[in-house]
Amino acid sequence: MAHGHAPTRTSPHPDPTEAALKPAPLSPRRGDLAEAVEGFEPAEPADLERVSLQRRYDRKFLVPAEQLGAALRSLRDDYRVVLAGGERFAHYDTFYFDTPTLRFYHDHRRRRAPRFKVRIRNYADRGLSVLEFKEKTSRGDTHKRRWERPDISTSLTDLDRERLAEASPRVFAEGDLVPVARTVFYRLMLVSKRSVERATLDFHLTLERDEHSRTLEGRRPRPGLAPGHRDAPRRRQGRPLQQVLRGRRAARRRARQHLPARAARLRRSPLMPHLASLLVDAASALGPRLALDVACVLAVVRLIYLRAYPRQEYAFTFWLLNLITFAVACTLSGVHVEMGLSLGLFAVFGILRYRTEALRIRDLTYLFVMIGLAILNGVAAGAEALARVALIDLAIIAAVAALEFGPGRGGEDSVTVRYDRVELLPPAQREALLADLSRRLGVPCERVVVEHVDFMHDSAQLVVTYRPTAGKSPA
């Protein structure tokens, strides 16, 4: 969280207005840079209208500040400078907002499109506060919208949220936005005299997040680094500023100002930050759903099935079938799938059979319960959906337990046997038949159904319903 927004934190800037007007630690308004910029003509209103560039293509460079004086002097005939409250170096104080999971930040790092940026920018020299919304499209264009705010502040108002929701409802897909970072810097803005081009150079960029602060400086003692930002409507070569920066071997950068502020405490490497970000995102998205699914399987298999039917080999099947179905459901939940295909996949799992032996109806029902729980838990995205699915899971588990252990139904199972004492088959001998079957099978037999009688071989095929005991099954 950023400064002064969450009531449970102690902010280093208790007064929002005072925080928004905090001066940058260093100033380029004096010295060689100030002298070099004095030679530029002030921009006219027509120049600003021509390069408003709400839709644009941009490039960014990182330039050693001590090299800029000579470079700027060579550009006086090609550009004009934009004044801010009479100053050539405008003072900017910016607060960035993101979702609680930092979705905007991770989308920028992974170069996803479309992606968004939301910020409140306070212009200290003009006493102006502006809400800005940017959308980067898959074509590489940047769409920008700006709304002037009634006063300088550091938090989103209800009117700000309405404007953002109107610009793109997807901004609030994960809930309200929270402040995550702050930048303070001086900006020099140049506009081309001959083309639709705008260049901004930022000096003494200070990045803040929570109580941490960092100023962008070079690795050796020097005045600092100036992030150069060149905007144009399309990719074109031959721009004077671009040629000068390339001639001085300026490092081109894709990073935004708010990205270093959010990752100020991370040690960057070519691979690990991206890998760590992917793992964190995956854990936060799948962790709660997987934990709920595992808890449901434990309840059904350990507390219900194995207590009623001590068959450990089926527990192995239930676990793997559930986890595989959960993985498929999680994968398909992020992909548009037609309803017919979804029902077809569900049917394929539902009619599953093993060719080695026929499954009993009750065991097949448990397989269907494992598949259903996996699909429910796998597609539950978001806290609200997860809560609803948890209630459904609880109802299913309670129904299974009630049917298994309810009055007159608990723990019954059945087995097909070939019986040789046909003299005990008449209804009058049913008690003796059950007693003989109980003695031979080693479990209490409750009911028996005669399916087939073979008088030539003095045998019969019976379906015996019994009540399993712990650790025992029919011999």
Q: Give me the CATH number covering residue 46.
A: 2.40.320.10
Domain boundary among 242, 265, 288: 265
pLDDT of residue 175: 79
Residues 155 and 204 in one domain: yes
Residues 240 and 324 in one domain: no
In a domain, 7, yes or no: no
pLDDT of residue 301: 92
240 three-class SS: helix
176 or 299, greater pLDDT = 299
Residues 286 and 239 in one domain: no
In a domain, 422, yes or no: yes
pLDDT of residue 216: 67
The contacts found for 293-296 with CB under 8 angstroms, 24 or more apart, are 293/322, 293/323, 293/326, 293/373, 293/374, 293/377, 293/378, 296/373, 296/377, 296/393, 296/396, 296/397
What pLDDT, in 10s, does the model give residues 7-27? 333 333 333 334 444 555 556
Residues 322 and 439 in one domain: no
d(CA 258, CA 97): 10
In a domain, 29, yes or no: yes
d(CA 73, CA 38): 9
β-bridge mates for residue 132, sequence order:
119, 146
In a domain, 62, yes or no: yes
- Rounded average pLDDT over 218-239: 46
Residues 287 and 238 in one domain: no
Instruction: Note whether 217 and 244 are within 8 A (CB).
Output: no
Please tell me the least confidently modeled range out of 92-101, 178-187, 466-475. 466-475
Whether the per-residue pLDDT at 154 is higher than 90: the answer is no
Whether the per-residue pLDDT at 149 is higher than 70: the answer is yes
Most confident of 21-30, 41-50, 466-475: 41-50
Which amino acid, residue 33? L
In a domain, 443, yes or no: yes
Residues 279 and 200 in one domain: no
CB atoms within 10 A of CB 15: 11
256 or 333, greater pLDDT = 333
What pLDDT, in 10s, does the model give residues 262-290? 444 434 444 555 566 667 767 777 888 99
Whether the per-residue pLDDT at 123 is higher than 80: the answer is yes
Compute CA distances 47 → 144, 147, 278, whole Å: 19, 21, 44
What pLDDT, in 10s, does the model give residues 350-401? 555 544 456 677 888 888 899 889 989 988 877 788 899 999 999 999 999 9
> What percent of the chain lies above the pLDDT cut of 70?
70
Please tell me the least confidently modeled range out of 31-35, 303-307, 313-317. 31-35
In a domain, 9, yes or no: no
Please tell me the least confidently modeled range out of 36-50, 105-119, 207-221. 207-221
pLDDT of residue 390: 93
Residues 198 and 147 in one domain: yes
In a domain, 290, yes or no: yes
Please tell me the least confidently modeled range out of 141-145, 261-265, 314-318, 331-335. 261-265
pLDDT of residue 140: 72
> What one-character DSSP code corresponds to residue 151?
S
Residues 381 and 424 in one domain: no
pLDDT of residue 475: 55
CA-based nearest residue to 15, from 214, 179, 155, 123: 155
Residues 29 and 177 in one domain: yes
For 199, list phi and psi in degrees, rounded to 5.
Answer: -130, 135
Domain boundary among 215, 232, 265: 265
Residues 114 and 226 in one domain: yes
What pLDDT, in 10s, does the model give residues 297-310? 999 999 998 887 76
What pLDDT, in 10s, does the model give residues 71-107? 788 888 888 888 887 888 888 889 999 988 888 888 8
Domain boundary among 389, 405, 421: 405
pLDDT of residue 277: 62
Whether the per-residue pLDDT at 345 is higher than 70: the answer is no
Q: How many domains are contained in the chain?
A: 3
292 three-class SS: helix
Residues 44 and 95 in one domain: yes
Task: Look up the domain containing 430 and give its range.
Answer: 413-466
What pLDDT, in 10s, does the model give residues 388-446? 999 999 999 999 998 888 765 555 677 889 999 989 999 899 999 999 998 998 888 88
229 three-class SS: strand
Confidence bin at 296 (pLDDT 50/70/90): very high
d(CA 287, CA 292): 9
Confidence bin at 3 (pLDDT 50/70/90): very low
In a domain, 301, yes or no: yes
Residues 227 and 336 in one domain: no
Q: Are strands 142-149 and 178-192 parallel, antiparallel or unpaired?
A: unpaired
Compute CA distances 398 → 365, 403, 405, whole Å: 15, 9, 10
Confidence bin at 215 (pLDDT 50/70/90): confident
